[in-house]
Structure 1
Amino acid sequence: MTILVTGATGTIGSLVLQGLAQRGASVRALVRETGKAALPAGASEVVADMSDVASMRQALTGVRSLFLINAVTPAEVTQGLQTLALARDAGIERIVYLSVIHADQYTDVPHFTGKYTVERMIEQLDLPVTVLRPAYFMQNERQVQSVIQGYGVYPMPIGSAGVAMIDTRDIADVAVAELLRRDGADTALPRLTMDLGGPELFTGESAAKVWSQVLGCEIHYGGDDLQAFEAQLAQYGPGWMAYDMRLMMNRIQQHGMKPEAGTAQRLEALIGHPLRTYEALVKELVATAA
């Protein structure tokens, strides 16, 4: 039977698709337009829209396992709940859902509460799902690398509470391991929720220090000004998303993003290799840009 990967052309979904294909799984990529994405060898595509019930019913036909990820959009909650309901109708009992760390606590952040709403459906219906709750993606730093290197400022207002940044490749490795574990089981496995976080906690100041060491020049932390952060984001995207990100950063400044104790060790045992470090990611970004 087949594993269906939603978000198959996105940051995480594409890595999950690649990882499953490399391990010889029968994998199907959900795409919105045929032929636009370069798929790994052995993967097939199915064209569907997660807001369209008929196309999703067709996409889920013949599927044994599902990787569910929803983009941050105004329709995120509807798409997540609807896809899970359709998967249940199709008899799919092996699912991995990508949520976010502290989804149950950051109640004023729309995309966090949206993911927690999906988690509540999973819990109340006791669906056979692994819920993955990752912290801040290290690869988000690509979006601000030009500012860091061009102006000597680390601009992400993550504050001083501490963020366990995690590499997206490690997130994908965990998702692949869980999909294969569930897909290979004779019967549906119990519901499971897992925090995903990197091996170190970072503040704005300590992240800037890593960039300083790698670049060999002084990088300063830009501070905690959330009004300026929102205004900057609003220049390049919709206002609702800029405000959503501001609310998220406000919570990060207050509480941080800290997984349960022992998380890094459990993840490394699951994926079979050490978690990637922030310093290694920064070195990779700098080398790629050179």
Structure 2
Amino acid sequence: MSTITVTGATGTQGGATARALLNAGHGVRALTRHPDSPAADALRALGAEVRHADFDDRASLDAALTGTDSLFAVTTPFGADVTGEVRQGKALIGAAAAAGIGHIVLTSVAHADRDTGIPHYGSKHLVEQHLRAAGVPWTVIAPAAFMDNYAGGWILDGLREGTFAWPMPADRPLALISAADIGAFAALVLQRRDEFTGRRIDIASDERTPRQIAEILATAIGRPITHQEVPLAHVRTRSADLAAMFDYFTTVGLDVDVACLRRDHPDVGWHSFADWAAGQDWPALLSPAPARR
């Protein structure tokens, strides 16, 4: 089995991909800025080789990429900005090309190759364009909205009060995917290079309206949950980028051929939103945070 390098390995998508590859028997070199973190320790326990790497430190990238065959690449504007994401994405791709990596699988976002007007979709599209021009065999997978976001942050705050607060109308469908499915599909692509090289694929495993999402969450949690539409103006006070995204979700939407993906790649084990929701530990997630002393 080949050794595959996974960036962002202690994050959501990288972690899911690393676990899927390890389960398939591949050697995994997991790159992270935090090699001493609990998430890094968990990957070591599964058999991964954990290395420090920083996208803004070319020497660390060169050292981490040497001697591996393929790369799973993830970039993010969060924690930096969209300009930083493009800079870091170009640095990673340049280092991979210099190291002779035989196949780069970049995770982007569904519709990033369209004129969405969403800043962090635009930055991902620029990284995609750089990848296409790098002269390295490539594949772009582009996930829809993450199911896993419904188990954290301000969503959980609302669920504790019986409300699914979401900045979309109750009846507007949204394409969804779990992190586990992203990882499983990425692992599939990395293992079947010849089939997927040179392709860009939007991926999702379900499509639900906010009203349906609230109903599914209510069933999984075991208490009434009601959808509440958050005004875009409120989102805009927090993030113009996210407001633009939710406006796009509402006015255009993410059209992903879920049925085709399920038919053509059944071995991914796609999760419906109900599957995902039923698999969460809601009592632990919804328990109040301990008071600070």
Q: Which amino acid aligns with 2:87?
A: T
- Structure 1: give runs of 5+ residues left out of the alignment: 235-241
Q: 2:266 and 2:34 mapped to 1: Cα distance?
A: 38
TM-score scaled by structure 1?
Answer: 0.85
Query: Are the equivalent residues in 2 in contact too, given 1:204–1:221 (CA < 8 A)?
Result: yes
* 1:210 and 2:216 are equivalent in the alignment: yes
Q: 2:220 and 2:46 mapped to 1: Cα distance?
A: 36
Q: 1:282 and 1:228 mapped to 2: Cα distance?
A: 27
Q: 1:85 and 1:29 mapped to 2: Cα distance?
A: 19
Greater Cα offset, 49-58 or 138-147: 138-147
Q: 1:204 and 1:277 mapped to 2: Cα distance?
A: 15
| Corresponding residue number in structure 1 for 2:9 | 8
* 1:264 and 2:261 are equivalent in the alignment: yes
| Corresponding residue number in structure 1 for 2:157 | 147
| Corresponding residue number in structure 1 for 2:167 | 157
| Corresponding residue number in structure 1 for 2:251 | 254
* 1:69 and 2:74 are equivalent in the alignment: yes
Greater Cα offset, 215-224 or 149-158: 215-224
Of 117, 121, 132 in structure 1, the residue corresponding to residue 130 of structure 2 is 121
| Corresponding residue number in structure 2 for 1:223 | 229
Query: Are the equivalent residues in 2 in contact too, given 1:9–1:31 (CA < 8 A)?
Result: yes
Q: Which amino acid aligns with 1:87?
A: A
- Structure 2: give runs of 5+ residues left out of the alignment: 287-293
Q: 2:72 and 2:135 mapped to 1: Cα distance?
A: 17
Of 112, 116, 123 in structure 2, the residue corresponding to residue 103 of structure 1 is 112
Query: Are the equivalent residues in 2 in contact too, given 1:27–1:43 (CA < 8 A)?
Result: yes
Q: 2:230 and 2:27 mapped to 1: Cα distance?
A: 46
Q: CA deviation at 1:216?
A: 4.9
| Corresponding residue number in structure 1 for 2:139 | 130
SS at match of 2:25: coil
Change over 3 Å in CA distance of 1:106–1:208 after alignment to 2 = farther
Of 181, 190, 193 in structure 1, the residue corresponding to residue 192 of structure 2 is 181
TM-score scaled by structure 2?
Answer: 0.85
Of 96, 110, 124 in structure 2, the residue corresponding to residue 87 of structure 1 is 96
| Corresponding residue number in structure 1 for 2:200 | 193
Calculate percent identity across the aligned residue pairs: 30
Q: CA deviation at 1:217?
A: 4.4
Q: CA deviation at 1:214?
A: 3.7
SS at match of 2:229: coil
For 1:20-31, list aligned pairs within 5 A: 20-31=21-32
Report the aligned-residue RMSD. 2.3
- What count of residue pairs does the alignment treat as equivalent? 274
Query: Are the equivalent residues in 2 in contact too, given 1:166–1:197 (CA < 8 A)?
Result: yes
Query: Are the equivalent residues in 2 in contact too, given 1:100–1:132 (CA < 8 A)?
Result: yes
Q: Which amino acid aligns with 2:255?
A: K
| Corresponding residue number in structure 1 for 2:275 | 280
Query: Are the equivalent residues in 1 in contact too, given 2:138–2:198 (CA < 8 A)?
Result: yes
